[in-house]
Amino acid sequence: MPLRNVAHEPQAVWEALQAGNQRVLDGETVDVREIYNREGLTHGQDPRVVVISCSDSRAPIEHVFNIGFGDAFVIRTAGHILDDAVVASLDYALAALKPNLLVVLGHQSCGAVGAATGFVAGGELPTGLQRPIIEKVAASALVAGPNATTDDVEREHTRQTVAQLVASVPNVRRLLDEGALGVIGARYLLEDSSVETLQTFGVE
């Protein structure tokens, strides 16, 4: 079902995303090419969800949730790290597009997390352009603790990203308090295409 047919309510949007992922697991995905009016999208967009996720090619958001054109405003960076451009893009989406849900989606076997975990364990820190990515993810690895597995750090990094957004983006906090926005921290499992829910705000 296109998200445009879902009520403008955080819980309804979250349930629709969960149902889409279940279709993926069941092998009963909807062919989005048959149900989307692409010509109509030339007049504007009305996404129900903003997704901040990793750039990893193995975790395409529309396929993870079996959604299509115009359903999600997606912001992707390596390791779903936050910087000024990401936060500004999110703020634009919240102010101009009025989505009902914000999802931070980590994933299994994240290269950025693996590199940061290796650095925290005593490895070398890159000196080039990739260094800020590893530094930011390394903070989550430190919070996760010395005995944390890569899976643990992936989960913790997603939780830390959610915490930063809720604490530092005024529109996120305001819309949460008003009940107009739900926030989800989740992790996509490459091994079976399922989505693991890690934390929720404003939805169940």
Residues in the annotated binding site for Zn(2+): 54, 56, 107, 110
C-alpha closest to that of 183 among 123, 99, 117: 99
Q: Which whole-number Å values give the CA distances from 6 to 1, 29, 46, 193, in the listed order?
A: 8, 17, 11, 23
Q: In what order do the strands lie in the sheet with 195-201?
A: 72-77, 49-54, 101-107, 182-188, 195-201
Contact 183, 166 (CB under 8 A): yes
DSSP E strand stretches across the chain = 49-54, 72-77, 101-107, 182-188, 195-201
Q: How far is CA 203 from the centre of its chain?
A: 15
Other C-beta atoms within 10 Å of 192: how many?
A: 9
Residues annotated within a binding site? 54, 56, 107, 110
